[in-house]
């Protein structure tokens, strides 16, 4: 019987070109190695040039001069850690909130403990003057 060719049942006449794929892979590998070696050599040259140049500090640089306040935590001249700083800050705030003291002695402004201030506000109430941002506690009657 003769072969009957059907267009629906077809197959490839040739296989993949393996020699072309192998040549491409070898060329790609060689190109990658050449680029790697060139980059490595360039960085080696940069390192040697950098090591040979004597770097002087900038003209305004002085190691004994500290930057102005406020300084960042962790730099020379600021020996405390952030946890120590926040502990000291909270201690000062707690001391001020729970003690009596002058805010402005010439004008007669004082600070009082926060719990005492809360009791006074509950007893007397608050008034706000229209021309001022200050809150006044009325005198006890």
DSSP string covering 83-100: HHHHHHHHHHHHHHHTS-
The whole-model pTM stands at 0.37
Whether 6 has a pLDDT exceeding 80, the answer reads no
For 72-125, the pLDDT digits (tens) are 776 666 677 778 888 999 999 998 889 998 888 888 888 888 888 888 888 887
Mean pLDDT of all residues belonging to the chain: 80
More confident call, 47 vs 67? 47
Q: Return the higher-pLDDT residue of 1 and 117.
A: 117
Q: Do you find a cis peptide bond into 131, omega within 30 degrees of 0?
A: no
């Amino acid at each position: 019987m003769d072969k009957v060719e059907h267009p629906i049942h077809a197959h490839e006449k040739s296989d993949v070109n393996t020699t072309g794929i192998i040549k491409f892979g070898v060329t790609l590998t060689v190109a990658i190695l050449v680029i790697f070696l060139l980059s490595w050599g360039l960085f080696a040259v940069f390192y040697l040039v950098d090591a040979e140049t004597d770097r002087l500090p900038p003209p305004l640089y002085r190691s004994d001069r500290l930057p102005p306040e406020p300084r960042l935590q962790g730099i020379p001249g600021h020996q405390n850690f952030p946890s120590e700083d926040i502990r000291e800050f909270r201690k000062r705030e707690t001391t001020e909130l729970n003690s009596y003291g002058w805010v402005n002695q010439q004008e007669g402004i004082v600070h009082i403990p926060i719990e005492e201030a809360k009791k006074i506000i509950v007893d007397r109430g608050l008034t706000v003057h229209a021309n001022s941002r200050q809150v006044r506690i009325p005198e006890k009657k």
